[in-house]
Amino acid sequence: MWPLVRQARYLGRYREIAQVLVGHGFGALVNQLGLVSLLSLPRRMVMRVPPPEPLGTAARLREALVALGPTFVKLGQALSTRPDLLPADFVHELGKLQDTVPPFAAELAVATIEEALGRSVGELFAEFSCEPLAAASLGQVHAAKLYSGEQVVVKVQRPDIAGRINTDLAILADLAALAQERLPFGRQYNLVELVWEFAATLRAELDYHREGRNADRFRHLFADNPTVHIPQIYWEYSDARVLTSERLYGPKVNDLAALASVGIDAPTLARNCLQLILSEIFSYGFFHSDPHPGNFFAMSGNVLGVVDFGQVGSLDRETTRALLLLLAAVVDHDTPAALRALEHLGLISRRDVSPQLRRDLERFTDGFVDRPLRDISARETVNDLLTLLSRHQIRIPGPLAMLLKALVMMEGVGQQLDPQLDVFGIARPYVQRAIAEGLAPAELGGQALRGARALGEVAVELPHQASDLLQRLNDGELRIQTEERELRRLTGAVISAANRMAVALVLGALILAIGMVAIAVGVGGWTGPLPALLLSLGVIAVLLTSLVLLVALLRGRE
C-alpha cells in the first residue's frame, strides 16, 4: 500500500506534508489516514490544537496548500473548478489561489536556457533582460530581442521543478489510495482517478514543447479571425524547458483605466472575449482552459491577444452535440431532453434517473421560464447545474469540468468589461450554426455510416462475446449481482416454480397410477367393485390436483 513511503528520498517530504497539515489544524485527517504510525510522528504533535485564528476550515486548507508548494497550489486551483466535489465555501476559497511566487535568480534562468539550447544567451539573443516580466509556480518570463529584430518573451522553467512535482504527484497518488480506502469521502469518489487526471494535466503543463504546439494550433485556427491574435512560436529558440514566443503589447483586459487611456472600447473587447470561447467550443472543439485575465492583452483595434497555452482541452463531436442538446433543453424547459443530454454527456445512466433527480432537474429548468436570455448568467447556470449533480453524487469528467470553468471565467472577464453583456444573445448564432451543421446531409450521412460501422462491429463481436460469457459461466467465474428488491422477486419466482413443479409431479404420479390400475383391470380381467372404486378415486384425485395446479399458475402470474 505504501511502497513509496519506504523509500528514504520520499520519507522527508511525507513528513513535511504531514507536519504542514497538522500545523493548519488537520491533525485528525493525518490520524485517519494512518500517517502517524507510518511516519513515526509524535502523537502529541498530531493532537496539538492549532493556534486560534479567525479562519474557517476552507481558508486553512488554502493556506496549507500554499505552504506545501507549487504542486499543491495547482491541485487547489484544479479543485476550485469542481463544485461537484467540494462545498461552495471550499470552491470559493480555493478560487483565491494565485499562481504567483517570487522569481528565481536570473543566473539560474540563463543557465537553464544555455543548457537547453546549447548556446550562450549572448549568441541566442541580441538583448536579454535579467529582470523577469512575470513569475509563476512552474517558471518565469524574460523579455528578449532576436538578432533579426523581433521582440520576444522567453519562458524558462524553474530548476528541478519537474523532479519536485513528480515526487509530490507520487505521494498524492498514495494519499488518494489511502483516503479511498479509509475515508467516507474517499469511498464516495474515485480519488485515485481524480489524482491521475490531475497528474496527467500537470505533467503536460511541464512540457513546453507541447505548449508551443498548442499555440501553433490556435494560431492556425484563428488565422482568419481579425479580432484574435495568437503569438508566433520561435522553435529555433525553444525546448522542453524553454519557450520563446512573440511579445504582445497592450494592457491586461481587466485593467479598465489602462484600456480607457489607450482608446480600447470595452464592450467590443468583451464581445470578442466571449466570441473567442464560443468559437473554441462550437467551431473547433479545442479550447484554452485557463482564461484568467492575466493571459489576455487588449491590443490596438480592440484585438484580443492570448498567451499561455499550457492548459487546453479538447471536445469530441458527440460531447459538443450533447452540450447543444442540454442548452436547448434548458431554454425549452424540456426535462426529458435534459436527461437525455446528461446521459449523452456521460454524467448519468438510465438507472441513475431517480424520481428525485427528475424532480430536481424540473426545478432547474423551471428556473428559466419567462426569463429573458440576456438576464441569465452562465456562471449562475453552471453553478446551479453542478450543485444539482453534486446533490445526487454525480461526478463530471475532468475535460467537461475544464470546459465549464473556462466558460465561466471568460464570462467573468467579459462582464468586467461590460456589465450588460448578453451572453446567451452572443451565443445564439454559434449554437444555431452548430445545430445546422449537425443536421446537414453530409453530417447525418457520416453519423449513419459511423452507426452502421459500430453495429457491424457489434455483430462481428457478439458470437465471440457470447461464447466467452458461456465459458465463464461454465467455469464458475461469472458472478451475478442484484438489488434486494430484485432478489426477493427472484426468490419468490423460484419458490413458486418449485411449488408448481411439485404439484405437477404429484399429478403425473396420480395419472400414472390410474393408468396402471386401468391396465391391470384390462389385462388381468379384474371384476367386482374394487377396480371401479380405485379408478373413481384416481379420477377425483387428478381433478383436485389439477384444480390446485391451476390456482397456483394463476397466482404465479400476479
**Dihedral angle sign, alpha carbons of residues 509, 510, 513, 518:** negative
Return the SS3 of 244.
strand
Largest separation between any pair of C-alpha atoms in the chain: 132
Q: How far apart are CA 362 and CA 335, in angstroms?
A: 6
Other CB atoms within 10 Å distance of the CB of residue 96: 13
Q: How far apart are CA 470 and CA 228, in angstroms?
A: 59
Nearest to 253 by CA among 378, 411, 21, 384: 411
Q: Are strands 303-306 and 312-314 parallel, antiparallel or unpaired?
A: unpaired
Q: How far apart are CA 184 and CA 291, in angstroms?
A: 34
Query: Which regions of 277-420 does DSSP assign to beta strands (E)?
Result: 286-288, 296-299, 303-306, 312-314
The answer to whether 104 touches 140, Cβ cutoff 8 Å, is yes
Amino acid found at 232: Q
The yes-or-no answer on residue 290 being catalytic is yes
Kindly give the interhelix angle for 191-206 and 398-417, rounded to the nearest 10 degrees.
Answer: 60
Check 84, 168, 239, 290 and give the catalytic one: 290
* DSSP 8-class letter at 153: E
Which residues, 6+ apart, have CB-to-CB distance to 29 below 8 Å? Answer: 21
Cell matching residue 227: 479580432
Nearest to 60 by CA among 98, 14, 27, 99: 27
The answer to whether 258 touches 251, Cβ cutoff 8 Å, is yes
Cα→Cα distances 535→18, 129, 419, 554, Å: 90, 117, 98, 29
Per-residue three-class SS string for 279-311: HHHHHHCEEECCCCHHHEEEECCCEEEECCCCC
Kindly tell me the burial class for residue 137, based on how many C-beta atoms sit within 10 Å of its own C-beta (0-12, 13-18, 19 or more).
buried
Amino acid found at 520: A
The answer to whether 282 touches 433, Cβ cutoff 8 Å, is yes
Nearest to 10 by CA among 170, 228, 146: 170
Q: How far apart are CA 57 and CA 61, in angstroms?
A: 6
Give residue for cell 390456482: 551
Q: How far apart are CA 295 and CA 218, in angstroms?
A: 14
Q: How far apart are CA 396 and CA 322, in angstroms?
A: 14
- What are the residue numbers of the active site? 290
